Structure 1
Amino acid sequence: MASPRSARGRQRGTIGWLPSGSARVKVYAGIDQLTGKKLWLRETVPARENRKETQREAEKAITRLLNQVDEQRSPRTEATVNELLNRWLGVLDVERKTRAGYVSKIEKHVRPTIGRLQVARVKAETIDELYAQLRRCRDHCRGEKYVQHRTDCEHVCDEHSPRRPCAQVTFQDPSAYCRWCERMCRQHRCKPLAAASIRVVHAILSGAFSRAVRWGWIGVNPIDQTEPPPVPRPNPSPPTAAEAAALLTEAWADPDFGTLVMFAMTTGARRGEVCALRWSQLDLDAGVAVFRASIGQIAGQRWEKDTKTHHARRVTLDAELVAVLREHRIRYEEHARLVNSTLRRDGFVFSPHPDGSVMTNPDTLTQRYGRLAKRLGFNTHLHSLRHYSATELIAAGVDIRTVAGRLGHAGGGSTTLRTYSAFVLEADQRAAAALAGRRPRPVVRPPHDT
């Protein structure tokens, strides 16, 4: 039987024979969109009882592959996953910090595992195996035992050289803490990648392969046939009232830092929003703060950007906090006069410079608050002040939409309700108990005598 030909007489498929008796089928599939080279679909048909039967199976394979080409279900390129990701990142329009997070996940978890595979060869099974591997070990060890070095550069594994002795040896104190001990190279121990991080990897792959379908590189997105890990259950851990009081008291050793902690505790603003707040956005006469921007930070680089929801919001301040902020402004004005300067009208409210010209680093703020909590023996972090504000408002009976508006949650309160549902239930139980205390009791009449 002659090989199928196109309308112009071009041969579209051929059958070759291997020494084992198997048939090798090759079908022309067009031109590679990236390299300009010819694309071929190949398939090997195992040898049957006789050559004629193998020939028939090979012709069926040619027909099947030609149908894929005619229905545009065949790959249009032999590009690898690495090439797809490079193209996808080139057209991706996301916020700068989000992009940096995507690139980090790609370099750590995607390129070393499936980066060299052709896009057309990635199946749902391939992605499911990748997720299973990440759930076992975030370093893709595949069960191998090796020493995990702290750096890829040449180094001496033992940190405790004669020029840098261990603190326990130096001070002869068994309880002394050596900050170098924890950084020593040691035997690898498997640690699973968090479910939230695997979901980010899933979002990256889904976006990239969806774009490949749109570009015509492949016919079907294999990521649509996989299942990401479930959304982790929110578990906010706000400080208790006693812990919040202790944290605020300790922070007030520096009135400027104490004002910042009190402001974050009251407004529930994100750390980037607190760092980006300017005096021009703070109306102390009306008692209102307007959050219009946030500070982004990556590897020491800082920039001013939109808020997380890309919308400005107004938060009302109580009288006590307004008074504290007035004192905070007076201190900044006095410090500015001492250095022959003036406080800028659009200066940052919480700035390391007296004139408010320089923004505070969000990471610096997190680290300072972490050291403060550690001194008090509390296992908490700066973002917990946001949880504290939300839970206290809910406990006070404030409706969810108002709480969501103060926190800057999108979705009309759905995010707030999902994150703080346990505290809403607690407030609802208190409401039921309060209603039970005010509910009239039925008058129980004695039974009639018979």
Structure 2
Amino acid sequence: MRDLLALADPREPATRTQIADLIKRTLAETDTLPNVETVRSKVKTGQHLTQEITVEQWLAEFLNRKRKIEETTRRSYEGRIRLYLTPYLGRLRLEQLKVSDIALMFEQIEEFNDSIADRRADPDPAVRASVKYRRPISVTTMHNIRATLRHALNMAMRQDRLIDFNPAAVLEMPAKTRPRPVVWTEDWVRARQQDYRSYRETEKRHRGGRRVDPIDAYTSVPRPSPVMVWTPAHTRRFLQEAKAHRLFALYQLIALRGLRRGEACGLRWKEVDLDGQTLTVNWQLVQLAWQVHEGTPKTDASVRTIALDTDTTHVLRANRQQQLQERLSMGEAWTHTDFVFTQPDGSRLHPQHVSDQFLWLAYLADLPPIRLHDLRHGAASLMLAAGVEMKVVQETLGHTSSAFTADTYTSVYPQVATAAAEKTAALLFGEEDHAEPGKLISLRS
């Protein structure tokens, strides 16, 4: 006890009082004295010794200190803290937070997922409707929740020395697996059409014969994988259907050159060189909840210059002429934004509007459903099937490494695997002998 009291500077009686109060509180709660080295560290860094900081209070302080981050990152932190970390852990004292507390949070989240699944399978339409817009929390989202908490606790441990151990850093979690793109083969399409008809009939019976929203049914039928890709024939049919739509150029740009939705919406004319047949990605429009923000691309590798094919260049020229006509018709009501793709009055697009229009066009073309982002996956697969080098595909898509591109896309189209098999066989068999299995050529000849 004398050692503890001696930690206070004689010129700072307030600190000595805090140490005395800490001794009394700790003795009352644990029947032991505070750790001398822990108290020494807190005195040295100027921390208040008896103030009880909750997890909620520290997370608020953590957000307040994260000033120099992208708006999208801030909103992600805010969402995870508001929806998960504060409700489950906020009341706990920061210094008493344990690994078991965090594990319990994820167990409760998994129970929430189970309840959604049960309600969706309930025969009562009212019960199913109660979770219509509730999505289960994915493993990826759980990892992101843990990452946010770990970051905040690291700051508490290293900068303020409020804790000496980070429980989020040692918590074991299920592996985070990234779903790979799967092609809509003929067999998958036939099975999906049957499931779609059954779903509409079931929903119509549950609704007492009332109309079923076609897009709701179109997107509600389960898919073989969360990430589905059209075949080249599917993409061709979609572009034919979209040709009359005013955003046709945007969809072709994503389908052939693999731009992300936000990158296409944020593209400006000053970044497009139609004579040189290139465009440069410098900005994107990011949707946060329903608000739209202008920001930089996803990563440094996403800032890139992309070559344009002749047909896409012609389509962009036609889009420019259409935009000039809309500008003339709007007169003074036209909004000058310099975006390549705009609303009819020149104002910027809302990314969700682009996705909604995409679903309608895919539905009208009688195509199996994919997300707009999957059109980008299709562009990557098309390039690989056409024999484009992996490094070129990586740079076109704005990936940070060609290994990621190869791991994600090389197994998508059978043509890619077939071409690889043929090239491998050509190393062993001569052109004349290639049709005779088992006959090897002389490597010395």
Residue in structure 2 matching 1:276, options 252, 260, 266: 266
Determine whether 1:100 maps to 2:75: yes
Match of residue 169, structure 2, among 200, 224, 233: 224
Q: What do residues 155-181 of structure 1 show as CA deviations (whole Å, max 9, x unaligned)?
A: xxxxxxxxxxxxxxxxxxxxxxxxx97
Listed one character per residue, the Cα deviations across residues 116-139 of structure 1 (whole Å, up to 9, x for unaligned) are: 000111111211222222223259
Structure 2 equivalent of residue 201 of structure 1: 145
Answer yes or no: is 1:81 the counterpart of 2:55: yes
**Alpha carbons of structure 1 residues 431 and 68: separation in structure 2 relative to 1, 3 Å:** same
Pairing of 1:258-277 with structure 2 (within 5 A): 258-277=248-267
**Aligned: 1:239 with 2:230:** yes
- Greater fraction strand: 1
1:360 is aligned to 349
2:2 is equivalent to residue 5 of structure 1: yes
Contact 2:381 2:410 in 1 (8 A): no
Q: How does 1:50-65 map to 2 (within 5 A)?
A: 61-62=32-33, 65=35
Comparing 263-272 and 97-106, the one that deviates more: 97-106
Aligned to 2:112: 137
Task: Report the equivalent of 2:403.
Answer: 414
- 1:312 deviates by 2.4
Which protein has the bigger helix share? 2
Structure 1 stretch 224-233 or stretch 109-118: which is displaced more?
Answer: 224-233
**CA distance in structure 2 between the aligned counterparts of 1:274 and 1:213, rounded to whole angstroms:** 42
Listed as ranges, the matches of 1:20-419 within 5 Å are 31=18, 38=22, 40-42=25-27, 61-62=32-33, 65-66=35-36, 68-70=38-40, 77-92=51-66, 93-138=68-113, 184-185=129-130, 192-214=136-158, 215-236=160-181, 237-254=228-245, 256-310=246-300, 312-340=303-331, 347-353=338-344, 357-375=346-364, 376-410=366-400, 412-419=401-408
Name the stretch that deviates more: 304-313 or 315-324: 304-313
Q: 1:280·1:346 contact (CA, 8 Å) conserved in 2?
A: no
TM-score by length of 1: 0.71
Work out which of the two has the higher radius of gyration on C-alpha atoms and give 1 or 2. Answer: 1
Structure 1 CA distance, aligned partners of 2:157 and 2:62? 12
Q: Distance in 2 between matches of 1:285 and 1:121?
A: 64
Name the SS for the 2:2 alignment partner.
coil
Q: Report the CA distance shift for 1:314/1:9 in structure 2 as closer, same or farther (over 3 A).
A: closer
Root-mean-square deviation (CA, aligned residues, Å) is 3.9
Match of 1:432 among 412, 421, 429: 421
Check 1:136–1:346 CA distance in 2 against 1; reply closer, same or farther (3 A cut): closer
Separation of aligned partners in 2, 1:29 and 1:388: 68
* Of 132-141 and 362-371, the range deviating more from structure 2: 132-141
Shift in Å, 1:194: 0.9
Write the deviation string for residues 321-350 of structure 1: whole angstroms up to 9, x where unpaired: 111222222222233333447999972111
- Cα distance change of structure 1 residues 85 and 433 upon mapping to structure 2, 3 Å threshold: same
Q: Give secondary structure in 2 for the equivalent of 1:89.
A: helix
Question: Normalized against structure 2, the TM-score is what?
Answer: 0.72
Deviation at residue 320 of structure 1 after TM alignment: 1.2
Task: Work out which structure has the larger RCO, using CA pairs closer than 8 Å and 6 or more positions apart in sequence.
Answer: 2
| 1:259 CA drift (Å) | 1.8
CA shift at 1:68, angstroms? 4.8
* Aligned AA (1:204): T
Gaps of 5+ in 2: 9-14, 182-227, 434-438
Tell me the CA shift for residue 397 of structure 1: 2.4
Q: Which residue of structure 1 lines up, in the alignment, with residue 207 of structure 2? A: none
After superposition, the Cα gap between the structure-2 partners of 1:37 and 1:185, relative to the gap in structure 1 and judged at 3 Å, is: farther
Q: Identity of aligned pairs, percent? A: 25
Q: 1:95 to 1:9 in 2, by over 3 A?
A: closer
Describe the shift of the 1:10–1:241 C-alpha distance in structure 2 as closer, same or farther (beyond 3 A): closer
